Amino acid sequence: MRNPDASTVPLVCSLTGTLLKTDLVSERRIQKLKNTIEGLLSSSLDLKRLQLEQSAKDQAGSALPLNEPLLEFLREEKKSGRKLVLLTAESPECASEMLGNDHQLFDETIDCRSANELVSKFGEKNYDYIGDSSTSSEIWHGANKRFVVAADDTTAKKLSADGMSVSRQFAKGNSLNLKSGTRALRTYQWLKNLLVFVPIITSQQLDDANALRNSIIMFICFSLIASFGYLVNDLLDLASDRAHPKKRHRPLASGNLSIRHGVLIGAALLVITAVLCLMLPGPATIVLIGYLFLTISYSLYLKTKLMIDVVALGILFTLRVIGGAAAIETELSFYLLSFSIFIFSSLGMVKRFAELHNLQSRNQLIARGRSYRVEDMAPVRIIGISLGYMSVFIMGLYINSPVVTQYYDHPKFIWFLFPLLTYWLGRLWILANRGEVNEDPLIFAMKDKTSLLVVGLSAVILLIAN
C-alpha cells in the first residue's frame, strides 16, 4: 500500500500523557483522597463549601501544563493546512477547559479506545499518530507516521524492533532529574531547620561531641520531613498552585516532575528519616512524629482555617526548637519556649499579610484555599505586630531572670539584644506593609543584608556576654 502524503492525512494526538505533561488519573485519585479526608475532618456545613471549591478547581483546566515543544509542532502543522484530531476519553467540553485557547488548534475531538476504531474512522495507514509509551502496538501499527512522546528512547527502539519507524520523538518533560527533584524538595527551606541548634547554643554544649552529633541528625530529620511535607502540600494543591503567578512554576504543578516520581521521592524521605530516628533519643523521635502529623494536618486542613493556620505555623517552628532540646536531652526553658511561640506566630502573620498584599496588587479579594480576604489586612497586621513585640517582652523577662546567670558571666550585655530585636521586627513589618517582603519572611530574612547584620551583631553580643 502506498503511503499517503502527510498533508492529506489527519494528525491524531493523544491528550493524557502526551500533550498534557501531567497524569489526570493520578491527579483525580489524589483529589478524591483529599476530599475524603477533608470530609472526615470538616463539619457537615463545610462539605458544601469544599465541593464548591473543588468545582472551581476543576474549571481551572486552562492552567494544566502542556508539552510546549509538541504544542509548537502542532501549531506548525496547523498552519500548513493539516487536520488535527485530539484523542481523549474526556468530553469535548472538558478537553476545551483543559487546553483553553489551544483547543482551537484541533478540528475534531474523538474518543477512540482501540486501533479498530481509528482504522474504521480514518482507514488503515491513513492517519499519523502522536502517543506515548502507553499506546498499544495495534494503534502504532495502523498509523501512517508515528510521533513518540517519551522520557527516553525505549519506546522508539521497541517500535523499530517491531518494524515500525518513528518519524520524530518529543521529550516527555517530566522525567526525574536533579534539578526538578531538588526544586520539589525546596532544599533552600532547610535553612529554617537551623533552629534545632538553638538549644545546644543556649545551653553551651557545642563542645559536646555526642550532643553536636544528635543535633546534626535532628537537623537532617527535620529537613527530610519538611521536604516530605512540601511534596504532600504540592500534590494536594496542584489546581490552586497552577492559578498562582509564582507557584505554577513548581515542579509538580508545572508538570516538570511527574506525580509518580513525587510519590516515590516522598516515600524515600520517610524511610531515610525512620532509619535516622534509630540514632536519636526516644523523646526526639516523638517530637519528629508530632511534627510530621502536624505538617500533614496543616497541608490537608489547618491551612484553610482562619488564625488556626498561623497558630499551626508557630507551633511547627517551635517544634524545631523543642526537637533540638530533645535531641541533646536538655530541658527547654519557659522563656525560650514562650519566645519561640510568639515570634514565630508573628512571622506566620507576616506570611499571611504578604500574601494578602500580593492579592491586592493583582486586584483580587480572596486568597484561594485560605480563609483570609484583602479586607483582613489591618487586623492581620495588628495581631502580627502585637505577637512580635510580646516576644521582645519575653526576652526582657529572660534577661532579668536568675536563669540567665547559669549560662552567661556578663548577662547585662544581653540587654543589647533588646533594641536589635525591636528594630528588626519593626523594620520587617514596615517593609511588609510596603509590599517588599515576599510570602516567606524567614527566607526574606536569610537574603536580606540588614537582617543578616542583626544576626551577626546578636552573635557578637552573646559571645561578649559569655
CATH number, residue 298:
1.10.357.140
Residues sharing a CB contact under 8 Å with residue 330, sequence separation 6 or more, in sequence order: 199, 200, 203, 205, 211
Of 309, 331, 353, which residue is a domain's last? 331
Kindly state whether residues 76 and 218 are assigned to the same domain.
no
Kindly state whether residues 114 and 228 are assigned to the same domain.
no
Q: How high is the pLDDT of residue 7?
A: 63
Per-residue pLDDT for 20 more than 90?
no
Kindly state whether residues 195 and 262 are assigned to the same domain.
yes
Per-residue pLDDT for 57 more than 70?
no
User: Regarding predicted confidence, which is higher, 248 or 213?
Assistant: 213
Kindly state whether residues 12 and 143 are assigned to the same domain.
yes
Q: How high is the pLDDT of residue 116?
A: 78
Kindly state whether residues 338 and 216 are assigned to the same domain.
no
Q: Is residue 52, in this structure, part of any structural domain at all?
A: no
Cell triple for 46: 463545610
Dihedrals phi, psi of 42, to nearest 5 degrees: -90, 160
Question: What's 58-73 look like in SS3?
Answer: HCCHHHCCECHHHHHH
User: Regarding predicted confidence, which is higher, 114 or 117?
Assistant: 117
The arithmetic mean of pLDDT across residues 113-121, rounded, is 78
User: Residue 170 forms beta bridges with which residues?
Assistant: 149
- The listed range with the strongest mean pLDDT (56-70, 82-96, 372-386) is 372-386
pLDDT band at 52 (very low <50, low <70, confident <90, very high): very low
Of 273, 299, 331, which residue is a domain's last? 331
Of 142, 171, 200, which residue is a domain's last? 171
Domain with 157 in it: what CATH number? 3.40.50.1000
Write the pLDDT tens digit of every residue in 196-212.
999 998 888 888 899 99
Least confident of 180-194, 243-257, 274-288, 344-358: 243-257
Per-residue pLDDT for 156 more than 90?
no
pLDDT band at 24 (very low <50, low <70, confident <90, very high): confident
Q: How high is the pLDDT of residue 439?
A: 67
Kindly state whether residues 324 and 371 are assigned to the same domain.
no
- Report how far residue 216's alpha carbon sits from residue 220's, in angstroms, rounded to the nearest whole number: 6
Write the pLDDT tens digit of every residue in 274-296.
999 999 999 999 999 999 999 98
Q: How high is the pLDDT of residue 181?
A: 85
Q: Is residue 300, in this structure, part of any structural domain at all?
A: yes
Kindly state whether residues 363 and 303 are assigned to the same domain.
no
* 154 within 8 A of 41, measured Cβ to Cβ: no
Q: Give the number of other CB atoms < 10 A from CB of residue 154.
A: 11
Mean pLDDT, the chain, whole residue set: 85
Kindly state whether residues 195 and 322 are assigned to the same domain.
yes
- Provide the residue range defining the domain that includes 265: 175-331
Kindly state whether residues 288 and 380 are assigned to the same domain.
no
Per-residue pLDDT for 48 more than 50?
no
Write the pLDDT tens digit of every residue in 317-327.
999 999 999 99
- Report how far residue 10's alpha carbon sits from residue 112's, in angstroms, rounded to the nearest whole number: 14
State what percent of residues in the chain have pLDDT above 90.
38
Kindly state whether residues 180 and 151 are assigned to the same domain.
no
- Report how far residue 183's alpha carbon sits from residue 386's, in angstroms, rounded to the nearest whole number: 35
Kindly state whether residues 164 and 185 are assigned to the same domain.
no
Q: Is residue 27, in this structure, part of any structural domain at all?
A: no
User: Residue 129 forms beta bridges with which residues?
Assistant: 12, 146
Q: Quick one: which of 443, 444, 391, 398 has its CA closest to 420?
A: 391
User: Regarding predicted confidence, which is higher, 71 or 151?
Assistant: 71
The arithmetic mean of pLDDT across residues 241-253, rounded, is 83
pLDDT band at 392 (very low <50, low <70, confident <90, very high): very high
Kindly state whether residues 312 and 252 are assigned to the same domain.
yes
Q: Is residue 43, in this structure, part of any structural domain at all?
A: no
Q: How many domains does the chain have?
A: 3
